[in-house]
Structure 1
Amino acid sequence: MKHRCNTWACFAAILLLAGCNDRSAGEIAAAPVEAVAAPAPLHKVRFLLNSGFSGANAWFLVADERGYFRDEGIEVEFVPGRGAFTAAGRMVEEGFDVGYGDIQAAYEQAAKVPGKAPVGVYMVMDTSPSVIILSAASPVTSAEQLTGLTITGHATDVALNTFEQYASRTGLDPASVKIVSNDGNWRVLIGLLDERKSDALFGYLSTSSAAIRTAGGEVASRLRFLKFRDAVPELYGSALMLSPDLMREHPEVARGLVAAVNRGVMETLCKPREAIDLLVAHDQKQNAEVELGRLMDTIDDMGGSKLIARQGVGDIDRARMLAGLKLTVSVRKLPREPRVEEVFHRDLLPPPTSRTPCSSPDPRT
């Protein structure tokens, strides 16, 4: 039977033998052996995503696969989500340490369960990604024309759950629109649009466009969009969120998480194609071209390459967030108005120079 020594014991033995030529056996035997410290155990966290891995969140996979979390002493267990608007609530109810989802949902949690709600620490989407999805043949060109029409969407969809904000800024009475909940997949939802069983859909431009591309269609010939960001610029999109307990009890882990995610985001923005190649290697069922398109649409939701190059990623404009917070509290009839500092902390952000990627994301790299 072969005997294999423990790595640290072997290393100590080698150090002892190396001194045999200069020291007697007695001296060696008497000499104390200094223990070699084992590496510190990784701090484990549970991370709730907005969905499974896709082009829309590829930076988290990049950070994990390239070891950036481990560099910070962190081991991440990723859990696929059920939509960006559900992330904040599930973090509270199910005790997740980290989450990625819509910041307006975090406002609502902070209003309802102060002190327990997740806190945004790194803003990924500088603008709302939500849209009203129309058939390319639809006569509707403005929000006011939605009066009396039917809009269908998932009950947990961000656009559906921030529709009051959109309506309030466009002069549309939300009660004048018939909202229908349908939890079918995007093939089903777009089918309702094609069959004129629904006048419009709630969703993300990136998600609905990916569904069209998956079926081999051309987005411009099939769909048009009324974008929330054009009407409600004070709304943000998805952010990295941390639990208050993690931030309070393990501040070094909180800072490390933000640093690791930022590295993943920067590399994904500079070399989108590499990020998608990694995604497809992780899950071969993914369609590389569809997911690359989803990623590029998501970059547009982050403000676009020019804005990203100018101001970087991760930070917020406090006055703008306050305006969006006040609007959300008012139209959603929340029980209290949280302070901005309750819903977003800026002090964990890396320096601005570390949050500014290459000037223009190139989908070929």
Structure 2
Amino acid sequence: MTIARLFGVALASAAFALPTVGAQAQDKTDVRFVLDWAWQAMHGPFLIALEKGYYSDEGLNVTIDRGFGSGDTINKVASGAYDIGFAEGTGLFKFNKENPDDAVISVLIINDQSPTGAISLKESGINSPADLVGKKISATQNEATVLAWPVVAGLNNIDPASVEFMFVEPNLRDSLVIQGAADATFGFATTTALNFVLAGVDKDDVNYFTLAQFGLNPYSSGIIVRKDFAEANPEVVKGFVAATVKGLQDMLADPAEGLALLKKREPLVDETVEAARWELAQELSILTPSVIERGISEVDPARFETAAKQIATAYGIDVDPKIGDYYDASFLPPAEARAISDDVKAKAAK
């Protein structure tokens, strides 16, 4: 699978609209919100909700800071340094096991499917887990995909020891593939595939597959809070989730709006690359067949618990995950607010 076709869509979205002036917050509840990583297209919905006053309309004065990885975001929310975060939810299984008094839960799933996978150059011919046998993989020690690899290998009848990991710092993983020292790297395709392009690789030469395509299909990134914070501040959490859903719906309908706000917040981003990144995130994570049919954050308990057990096994933790310990749907807005519009469905079908 390549990202070439995404750039055609990205170019069509590159004529960004000027942002509107958001509502001014006064007499609002302050909410400290931290992202999973540096500013990217995935964060457009939050900027729309902030700029268009959706958070303010819910009585919230929201400040947003960049993140430094989902694990760090979970720690910051658990410690109380931030009230709410956006992070990869699979990290909660291990965190809550080790920190039961500081348990963190998801209250809105935005990435219905994880974009985690293997990213390579097209010439490598790596299109499935079987194609990794005998190959060198650049990775970070104890990174989630590395821990999950034995599970994926088992699901596909592969000896997990049949690949050679080259463990390096995160900032070196991509360059080893580009330089030819490694055959592939593990990570979020929505991040790494586009990073290859930013590093000068032709878009037609970037290849990827996701672990979800080959049996490991957990729910992915979303809004997280401390469990006791949600219990003590239900209206704050409900308001934040409702406003975020509105921002996400707007971004799905008109990504140019969110991308313009992203450029305003972080002038160094490449507009065309971020537009392509958003299209890739929609394809791999957000507008899955399940979401198109059932709506945003409609979580199937059986799928959740099956994948959670797989992740727990990968992390080497002894838990029998139950959905209620990690995800609480009671803070969601009504189903009609989370339904995907016919226009968005039509665009996704093209």
TM over 0.5: yes
Which residue of structure 2 lines up, in the alignment, with residue 351 of structure 1?
334
Q: Against the structure 1 CA distance between its residues 246 and 94, is the aligned structure 2 distance closer, same or farther, given a 3 Å change threshold?
A: closer
Which residue of structure 1 lines up, in the alignment, with residue 68 of structure 2?
82
Which residue of structure 2 lines up, in the alignment, with residue 162 of structure 1?
148
Aligned 8 A contact 1:108 1:334 in 2: yes
Which residue of structure 2 lines up, in the alignment, with residue 10 of structure 1?
none
Q: Against the structure 1 CA distance between its residues 206 and 246, is the aligned structure 2 distance closer, same or farther, given a 3 Å change threshold?
A: same
Which amino acid is 2:285 matched to?
M
Aligned 8 A contact 1:111 1:338 in 2: no
Q: Against the structure 1 CA distance between its residues 184 and 306, is the aligned structure 2 distance closer, same or farther, given a 3 Å change threshold?
A: closer
Which residue of structure 1 lines up, in the alignment, with residue 186 of structure 2?
202
Which residue of structure 2 lines up, in the alignment, with residue 319 of structure 1?
302
Q: Which residues in structure 2 correspond to 1:71-110 (within 5 Å)? A: 71-93=57-79, 95-110=81-96
Percent identity (aligned):
23
Which residue of structure 1 lines up, in the alignment, with residue 206 of structure 2?
223
How far has the Cα of 1:135 moved from its partner? Answer: 1.8
Which residue of structure 2 lines up, in the alignment, with residue 262 of structure 1?
245
Aligned 8 A contact 2:140 2:173 in 1: no
TM-score (norm. length: structure 2): 0.84
Structure 1 residues 298-353: Cα deviation after superposition (integer angstroms, max 9, x where no partner): 11123536543322112211110010111122232213334210100011111111
Aligned 8 A contact 2:110 2:286 in 1: no
Specify the SS of the correspondent of 1:189: helix
How far has the Cα of 1:233 moved from its partner? Answer: 4.8
Q: 1:151 aligns with which of 137, 152, 169?
A: 137
Specify the SS of the correspondent of 2:61: strand
Which residue of structure 2 lines up, in the alignment, with residue 65 of structure 1?
51
Please state if 1:193 is matched with 2:193: no
Aligned 8 A contact 1:69 1:75 in 2: yes
Which residue of structure 1 lines up, in the alignment, with residue 118 of structure 2?
132
TM-score (norm. length: structure 1): 0.80
Runs of 5+ unmatched residues, structure 2: 1-24
Specify the SS of the correspondent of 2:342: coil
Which residue of structure 2 lines up, in the alignment, with residue 52 of structure 1?
38
How far has the Cα of 1:242 moved from its partner? Answer: 1.2
Aligned 8 A contact 1:147 1:177 in 2: yes
Q: 1:242 aligns with which of 207, 210, 225?
A: 225
Q: RMSD value over aligned CA atoms?
A: 2.4
Which residue of structure 2 lines up, in the alignment, with residue 30 of structure 1?
none
How far has the Cα of 1:127 moved from its partner? Answer: 1.0
Which residue of structure 2 lines up, in the alignment, with residue 251 of structure 1?
234
Which amino acid is 2:291 matched to?
I
Specify the SS of the correspondent of 1:302: helix
Specify the SS of the correspondent of 2:100: coil
Structure 2 Cα separation of the partners of residues 45 and 107 of structure 1: 25
Q: Against the structure 1 CA distance between its residues 156 and 278, is the aligned structure 2 distance closer, same or farther, given a 3 Å change threshold?
A: farther
Please state if 1:120 is matched with 2:106: yes
Structure 1 residues 208-266: Cα deviation after superposition (integer angstroms, max 9, x where no partner): 232233345432x3222231111125312111111112112111111111111111111
Paired residues, what number? 322
Structure 1 Cα separation of the partners of residues 285 and 343 of structure 2: 13
How far has the Cα of 1:101 moved from its partner? Answer: 1.1
How far has the Cα of 1:285 moved from its partner? Answer: 1.7
Which residue of structure 2 lines up, in the alignment, with residue 277 of structure 1?
260
Aligned 8 A contact 1:125 1:237 in 2: yes
How far has the Cα of 1:79 moved from its partner? Answer: 2.4
Which amino acid is 2:175 matched to?
G
Structure 1 Cα separation of the partners of residues 142 and 271 of structure 2: 27
Structure 1 Cα separation of the partners of residues 249 and 126 of structure 2: 38
Q: Against the structure 1 CA distance between its residues 157 and 84, is the aligned structure 2 distance closer, same or farther, given a 3 Å change threshold?
A: farther
Q: Against the structure 1 CA distance between its residues 342 and 305, is the aligned structure 2 distance closer, same or farther, given a 3 Å change threshold?
A: closer
Please state if 1:212 is matched with 2:196: yes
Structure 1 residues 174-233: Cα deviation after superposition (integer angstroms, max 9, x where no partner): 334332332353xx53331133211210112211232233345432x3222231111125
Q: Which residues in structure 2 correspond to 1:297-308 (within 5 Å)? A: 297-304=280-287, 307-308=290-291
Structure 1 residues 152-171: Cα deviation after superposition (integer angstroms, max 9, x where no partner): 13447543343333223222
Aligned 8 A contact 2:193 2:208 in 1: no
Q: Against the structure 1 CA distance between its residues 97 and 159, is the aligned structure 2 distance closer, same or farther, given a 3 Å change threshold?
A: same
Structure 2 Cα separation of the partners of residues 199 and 360 of structure 1: 40
Aligned 8 A contact 1:305 1:359 in 2: no
Specify the SS of the correspondent of 2:272: helix
